[in-house]
A and B are shown apart, each in its own frame.
Chain A
C-alpha cells in the first residue's frame, strides 16, 4: 500500500465513520433540491392557475366592447365578472368594488363607444378626401380602467397593452372600411374592402441555443445544477472540519513527522472529496431524472456530452475542495471553521445566483456575482443544459474554478510556512 493509497484510505474511513457529515453532504442537498424545486414549481403553477379577478362593464355591446371582452377572456390571466350580485354596476359601484379589493381590476367600456369611433373615423376620412385636415383626437372614446394598488405592475402592463392593441385594431378596421367606401364613391369600378392582415409580422418565440435542443428551462432544469453547486461547496464545511479535527487530535502532527509531504496529504483529500463531489452530482442528477417525475415534478433532461458535465463538475469540485482546505488551515477551531464555511458558502450561493437568478439582481450585485465560484459552476452547467455549449463555452468557467483552487492552495502553503 503506497503513501497516497494510505492517505486516501484514511480520508475515506474518516468520511464514512462521520455519519453526521455524510448526512450534511448527501441528504441535506437532496432535501434542498427537492424542497426548492417543489416550492418553485408549485409557485410557477399557481401563477398560471390563479386568475386575477376583473370586473368588466361593457356598455358598448358593439365591435370594440365585444373584441376587448373576447381578448381578455382568451388571455386566461383574468377571472371575468360582468355584474355584482346579478346587477350590472355603474361607474361609481365599479370603482368602489375595486377599491374594496373585491376585484383587482375594473374596466368600464362606455355606451356607444364603437359608434363614436365609427363616427369619428368616418368624419376624419371624409374630411381627408375633401382636402381638410382634422385630428382624430377630437371626441375620443374613453375606456376607464380602475386598478387595485396591490396589483402587480406586470399584470397591469399586460392588460393595458392588450386593451391598447385591440382599440387600435378596431379603430384601424373602421378606418380602412371608410376609406374603401370613399374610394368606391370616386371610382366607376368598386374595390373590395381593404382589410389589414394580422399576419404580416409573425413573432416566433424560441429559446436561444447553439444546436437544436429539446430541454425546456423549468424549475428542475434550473434547480438541479444550482443546488448541485451548493452541495459541492457545502463539502467545504466537512473538509475544513476534518482538517481541524486531525490537527486538534494530534494525528496531523504525527503525519508531519512522517515521510508524508504536505502536498501528498492535500492530494489524498482532493481525491477523496472529488469522489464525494462527483457522487453528489450524480445522485442529485439521478434524483432529478428518475425521482422527480414520480413526485409529479418535471424530469431533468440532460442533453449533450456527459463528459462535459463531468469536467464542469470536477472543476467546481476542485474550487470547493481548495476552499475547504484553505478554511481548514486558516481557522483556529472547529466551530470557527463550521460557522465561517457555512455562512460564506451561503453568501457565495446568494450572490452566485443559486437562490435568485442573477439577471433579476440589481446591477452592483450582478457584477458581484461574477466573483462567486458557485456562479462560475452554475453558468457552466447552464451553458451545457440550456445553450448546448461545448468545451469552448465552459472553458472560462473551468479556468476560473481551477484558478480559485490554485489560489486557495497557495494560501495554505503560505499558512504552513508561517506556522513553521
Chain B
C-alpha cells in the first residue's frame, strides 16, 4: 500500500511565469524513508507543503494515507507529523510547555501526553533540559525538540524538511539513528536534504526533482548502479541536475 500517491500534480504560484510543480506523478510506499532531493527552487518544499495541506494545487490527484486532498485534509492532518526546516517552536516557552501545547492540539490526553513527552525527551537525550526555555537551547537541542514536536502523536507519515541543518556531528548522528528507529516502528518518513551523503545513508528510496518535474526515482544504491559514471548519490545528483547555479 502506498503512503502517498501523487498523480499529474500541477502548481503555479500567482505571478510566476512557470510551474513550481509540473505534471508530477510519484507513489511513495508505506514504511519507506523517502528522500525528496533536488537543487534549490526545484519544488521540493512546494510538494511537501501541498502534502501537508499548507498549499493548494491547481491540478492533479493527491492521496495521503489513503485520504484525498484537499477534501479529507482534516483526516490527513491527524495522520501526519511535520518537522519544518525552521525551528517552529515558541522560544519564550520551555521545551515541556511547547510539547504540552502541541500534544494537546493533537488531542492527546493529559497522562498519555506526559508519558509521551518524557519518552521522546529521553529518546533524544533532552529529559534533563525540559524545563529550560527554548531560547536558551543550542542549535542541536532546538533541532531535536523540533523533531519531537512532530512525533508526539506517533504519526503514520513524518515529513522532515532538512532536519539536520546546522547541527554538530553528535546531534546529527543521534537524529539520524533515531529516525531509523522511528521508521522501524512503522512510520513512513518523507525527507528532504541537500546532504547527499546523509540521504544515501538514511533513505530507502529517493526521488530527484528538478524544475518541478520528477527526474528519476528508486533505491539509492540501484540508481547509483544504473548510472555508469556515478559512484555516489552526490555524483548522481550532479549528473542529473547539472552544475549550473540555481539561485
Binding site for B on A (CB under 8 A): 1-3, 5-7, 9-10, 13-14, 17-18, 246, 249-251, 253-260, 420
Contacts and interface: CB of A to CB of B under 8 A. Distances in A.
Given A249-B88, A253-B88, A258-B77, 20 more contacts: A1-B113, A5-B104, A6-B100, A9-B101, A13-B92, A13-B93, A14-B92, A17-B93, A249-B89, A249-B91, A250-B84, A250-B89, A251-B88, A251-B89, A253-B84, A254-B82, A254-B89, A256-B54, A257-B54, A260-B105
A18 B88 contact: no
Contact of A1 (B77, B104, B150): B104
B110 interface: yes
Nearest to B77: A259
B90 A249 contact: yes
11 contacts: A6-B100, A9-B101, A13-B90, A250-B87, A251-B90, A254-B88, A255-B105, A257-B52, A257-B82, A258-B77, A258-B105
A148 to B, nearest CB: 61
B104 A257 contact: no
| Majority secondary structure, A binding face | helix
B78 interface: yes
Given A6-B100, A9-B104, A250 B93 contact: no
Given A253-B54, A254-B102, A420-B55, A14 B90 contact: yes
Interface in B137-162: 149-150, 159
A17 B53 contact: no
A257 B104 CA distance: 14
B107 interface: yes
Nearest to A258: B105
Interface residues of B, number: 34
Contacts of B106: 258-259
Given A253-B88, A260-B105, A1 B82 contact: no
A18 B92 contact: yes
A3 B89 contact: no
B185 interface: no
Contacts of B53: 256-257
Contacts of A6: 100-105
A406 B113 CA distance: 36
A84 to B, nearest CB: 71
B49 to A, nearest CB: 9
A256 B80 CA distance: 12
Contacts of A256: 52-54
B78 A259 contact: yes
B10 to A, nearest CB: 15
Contacts of B61: none
Contacts of B89: 249-251, 254
B136 to A, nearest CB: 13
Contacts of B232: none
Nearest to A259: B77
